[in-house]
Structure 1
Amino acid sequence: MEPSQPSQPTPPPSGGPQSGGGPGAGGWPAPGPYTSPGMPYGPPGPVPYGQPPHRSTNGFAVASLVAGLVCCVPPLGLVLGLVALPRIRKRDQNGKGLAIAGIALSVVSSLLLVAGLVSGGFRTAYESFKEGVDEASRSRSAFALRPGQCFTDHSKGEEYATDVRVVDCAGPHDGEVSGTFKVTGIATWPGDDALEDIADERCEPINAAYAMDTWAIPRSVGLSYYQPSRESWRLGDREVTCAFTGEKPFSGSVRSDTTRLTLDQEHFLLSLNPIETVGYREPEEDPDEDFEANRQWARELLAAIDSARAGVRDRDWPGTSKPALAALGKELDTASKRWRAMTAATDAEAYWEGYEAAWDALPEDLGAEARTALGLTGTPPADEGTQA
């Protein structure tokens, strides 16, 4: 059976419009060029009847509205709006409403700006903003503190510092940062006690290097530190901040490190400070209770005295300080003899016999004149409630 043939459409009257005709000349329009799926089709045909052509939005109108909304550049929005209106009319573009809105907002913002400048309101607002920024820059975590900064801590006895503020070292402050270090080699939270042991061991030499002129440190000021909490440790915090803090606020910086000392001052302090450091380590038990511990400590102090003797004797000191350094050398010679005799004791009774004479040869103001001659603090820190 043959396939049926489609009937041919009746041709329209000649000279009339084509409607519903077939393909070809005078019929349906020929299809555009075929493209593969995903590729663009051919050039677009004419705009369908009854649909207006697309009108672009004037860029100056948009910019005028944006500038009008931004209060710091209101005149710019006014100018852009006035430029946009004639262009919109000439080019038959969209955006007239945007331009008018931008002009209106710019006029209002300009008037407010003028009023603020005349009344001083903007200056007051700026000063308040600046004060707030300054306040925010001073308030920080204890772990954001850096060496040389002085601070107040208003945490009110909380276990961990939460309200630390940087202040001028010349005025009253609770502490001064001497340095920082990171805890390494520990993966899991070690506990507060373990961190305290690490901080005690690591912060002591940091503080000693930061404040070498120990006589410039008030009696009530001592070693302190801020360590990570369990929560901050989980977030990766491993930093310990070492500091000098006081029982009550103190004024003035205690810093006297290599950046602030002369070579002569540094050499003097490196020679004499070990005597003071070892002296503070005297055993709590009497020689009657632990004779060997006391004799071992006396030997360590004797070694510090002999080291200081060599440091004082072997340096060519400035001319004005030579007499004071020579006198100090003689004091150290006498102290060395007395402490050597005490370390030779064979029992607690002999140790006690030489104890007082040894300390008398090493008085608290040992080297006071030499310190003054070198420009260091010449007076030991006074005990609380006494005058120096």
Structure 2
Amino acid sequence: MESLPPPQDSPPPRQDWPAPGTGPVHPGPYGPGPHGPGPFPPHLHGAPFPPGPGPHAAPPAVTSGLAIGSLVSGILCCLPPLGLILGLIALPRIRKRNQTGKGLAIAGIALSVTSCLLLTLGLVTGGFGKAWRSVEEGIEGASRSPSTFALRTGDCFDVDGDLEALDADVEVVDCAGAHEGEVTGTFLITGHTAWPGDGPVDGIAWDRCERIGHAYAMDSWALPEDVWTYYYVPTSSSWRAGDRNVTCALITDGAPVEGSLRNDETMLDADQVHFLKALNAVDTALFDEPDADADEDLAANTAWAAGVRTALTAASADLKGHHWPAESAASVAALVEELDKAAAKWGELAAAGDADAFGERYDTAYDLTIWGSEVEARTALGLADEGGSGGGEGGFGPEPGESV
């Protein structure tokens, strides 16, 4: 095969370059190169590296991360054992690896030992527990803003300014002392993606807070005369910010109340609970009376009367079916007879064919919902025997729209 001639534009050989393997040896900063012992031409390898440590110089000493961790853990008193352990591990490694940070490790060990001793002393003497409880109380107090939005079930409170204002400033106080309000419960409004309006929100709050109030203070006769059920609800603006919470409360519009108003199932015995549940159902039925008179809406009024009759009949059956203590059995039996008489009259009221007949029977039926034997039964069972806010009439607060 014919060989090709060399390219014509190849540069002529430099006469001043020494032949490979000849000439004086100049080790240079990197020692012998791949083309001989001499230095490489500057135009092939660029200018020499700037002075200073090159790639083969000894690396600078670094600070031990364990030493730093030991110091930080020693400073943080909640982690004293960790700082001690890290410091003890760091010291031998610092010597072996020629690292810095010995002082940091020693300081971390010293701080950790001191923290451990203080922690042990606190646990033995109980001081740590007291301090932690103080911290918890401080966090609790700081995390709750002084407004109706921060109230919780069982809180007793005073209000600065308008008692019924949604954004009123409140002060949570000891229930044993005088106070203006007591929270019976809270709940979230669900099932609405958009603001439902003041009316629907008010209706939801009224219905739920009435039931929550009856469960929180089962014996309505034990409530002072001026105590009513109120509720704090979201506004259209707070709703847009995500507020869905309703706070139910018992609030006095008279003199402040002393002592908690709570008397629920956790505070009553089985006989008291059974008695109150039976009669509270009658109170609830009575309180559902329509706003319209019989001459305006006869159907609604007769339906309400039928509901009261059903509640009276159910209460009678509940009282009959319970085994009562000897001291209350006779009075409860007498109450059952009164409930049965009342149920019969409310059945006649429900059967009224026109508004006049309804009006004629209304007072007679209502009079039979005040039972003389109830006071005797309450006394025998250890319940309030003088009507307060409820008074046997189911009075658990203002109508919807009167509360906030």
Correspondence 1:213 to 2:219: yes
Change over 3 Å in CA distance of 1:87–1:145 after alignment to 2: same
Aligned 1:108-123 pairs, distance under 5 A: none
Q: Which of these residues, 363, 388, 402, is aligned with residue 381 of structure 1?
A: 388
Deviation at 1:154, TM superposition (A): 3.1
Equivalents in 1 of 2:313, 2:97: separation in Å?
A: 98
Q: Which of these residues, 311, 332, 335, is aligned with residue 318 of structure 2?
A: 311
Change over 3 Å in CA distance of 1:293–1:75 after alignment to 2: closer
CA contact (8 A) 1:272 1:308 kept: yes
The equivalent residue for 2:35 is 24
Q: Deviations over 1:261-297 (max 9, x none)?
A: 444433322332243334445677888x769589736
The equivalent residue for 1:154 is 159
Correspondence 1:4 to 2:15: no
The equivalent residue for 1:321 is 328
The equivalent residue for 1:133 is 139
Correspondence 1:249 to 2:256: yes
Equivalents in 2 of 1:329, 1:201: separation in Å?
A: 29
Aligned 1:17-166 pairs, distance under 5 A: 17-18=26-27, 23-28=34-39, 48=54, 53-59=59-65, 62-63=68-69, 66=72, 70=76, 93-95=99-101, 129=135, 132-136=138-142, 139=145, 142-143=148-149, 145-146=151-152, 148-154=153-159, 156-157=161-162, 159-161=165-167, 163-164=169-170, 166=172
CA contact (8 A) 2:67 2:105 kept: yes
Q: Deviations over 1:16-65 (max 9, x none)?
A: 53459975232358xxxxxxxxxxxxxxxx96399654222245653565
Equivalents in 1 of 2:53, 2:352: separation in Å?
A: 117
Q: Deviations over 1:64-93 (max 9, x none)?
A: 654675578899989999998998789754
Q: Which has the higher contact order (CA 8 A, sep 6+)?
A: 2
SS class of match (1:367): helix
Equivalents in 1 of 2:227, 2:174: separation in Å?
A: 17
Q: Deviations over 1:166-185 (max 9, x none)?
A: 54444434333333333233
CA contact (8 A) 1:155 1:161 kept: no
Change over 3 Å in CA distance of 1:58–1:356 after alignment to 2: closer
Equivalents in 2 of 1:84, 1:302: separation in Å?
A: 84
Change over 3 Å in CA distance of 1:5–1:242 after alignment to 2: same
The equivalent residue for 2:203 is 197
Equivalents in 2 of 1:131, 1:381: separation in Å?
A: 36
Deviation at 1:374, TM superposition (A): 2.9
SS class of match (1:252): coil
CA contact (8 A) 1:283 1:293 kept: no
Which amino acid in structure 2 is aligned with residue 227 of structure 1? Answer: V
Deviation at 1:367, TM superposition (A): 0.7
Equivalents in 1 of 2:360, 2:85: separation in Å?
A: 98
Q: Deviations over 1:240-273 (max 9, x none)?
A: 233322225322132324x544444333223322
Question: Greater shift after overlay, 362-371 or 190-199?
Answer: 362-371
Equivalents in 2 of 1:64, 1:84: separation in Å?
A: 8
Question: Greater shift after overlay, 325-334 or 163-172?
Answer: 163-172
Equivalents in 1 of 2:178, 2:359: separation in Å?
A: 44
Change over 3 Å in CA distance of 1:77–1:200 after alignment to 2: closer
CA contact (8 A) 1:228 1:238 kept: yes
CA contact (8 A) 2:149 2:167 kept: no
TM-score by length of 1: 0.65
Which amino acid in structure 1 is aligned with residue 381 of structure 2? Answer: L
SS class of match (2:180): strand
CA contact (8 A) 1:216 1:254 kept: no
Correspondence 1:368 to 2:375: yes
Equivalents in 2 of 1:136, 1:264: separation in Å?
A: 42
Aligned residues: 355
Equivalents in 2 of 1:74, 1:291: separation in Å?
A: 77
Change over 3 Å in CA distance of 1:335–1:22 after alignment to 2: closer
Equivalents in 1 of 2:80, 2:218: separation in Å?
A: 59
The equivalent residue for 1:234 is 240
Which amino acid in structure 2 is aligned with residue 17 of structure 1? Answer: H
Which amino acid in structure 2 is aligned with residue 232 of structure 1? Answer: S
TM-score by length of 2: 0.63
Which amino acid in structure 1 is aligned with residue 264 of structure 2? Answer: S
Percent identical among aligned pairs is: 44
What is the RMSD computed on CA atoms of the aligned residues?
5.1
Change over 3 Å in CA distance of 1:17–1:211 after alignment to 2: same
